[in-house]
Amino acid sequence: MTLNFRQNNGFTLIELIVVISLISLMLFFAIPRFQVDVLSDNTKKVSRWIMLKVHALKEKAVHEQKLYVLHLSLDSNKLWVTSDIMSQEELQTAELNGYELPEDIKLLDVEYPDEEKISAGRADIYFYKKGYSDKAIIHISNNDNELLSFLIEPFLSRVRLYNKYIEFED
């Protein structure tokens, strides 16, 4: 008695469809993660610095009952913090020791509601003793022309990060 078995040399159409569907599903979830990782290390570093510093300044102003100011020099691409009780010498030292942005990151401007954008010189964001701050948007860009906007809300401790250039009119 001889059994005649058919030899299977290929894949069926259903097997191919299942494999392609699984690969497509994996790519669907992997691509957005890849896009987040595309931001340069310096862009991430500056973003974290701004977000953490704003959060810390709001808490520190309430805890220590001091007025704090985040200064942004758009000309020298530098950020630093001062308080209302610093001496003139301490103010100068704070500026000299400020956080210099990496060369591939540029402070574009700072926008306040109902006011003109500050795109040259110095912009100041105040953090008050009662726990609120000025409302402002900080705009930065990197060498890859990626634009980021940091929205600082007066009564929220978190900073909203947008991966595009936003304005108050938006």
User: For residue range 6-38, what is the model confidence (pLDDT) as tens digits?
Assistant: 666 777 889 889 999 998 888 777 766 554 554
> Is the pTM for the entire model greater than 0.85?
no
**pLDDT at 101 exceeding the cut of 90:** yes
**pLDDT at 169 exceeding the cut of 90:** no
The CB density around residue 132, as the number of other CB atoms within 10 Å, is 16
State the average pLDDT over residues 129-154. Answer: 93
The CB density around residue 77, as the number of other CB atoms within 10 Å, is 16
State the average pLDDT over residues 120-126. Answer: 95
* Domains of the chain, residue spans: 41-162
Domain spanning 41-162, CATH class: alpha beta
- In the numeric block, which tokens belong to residue 47? 């973003």
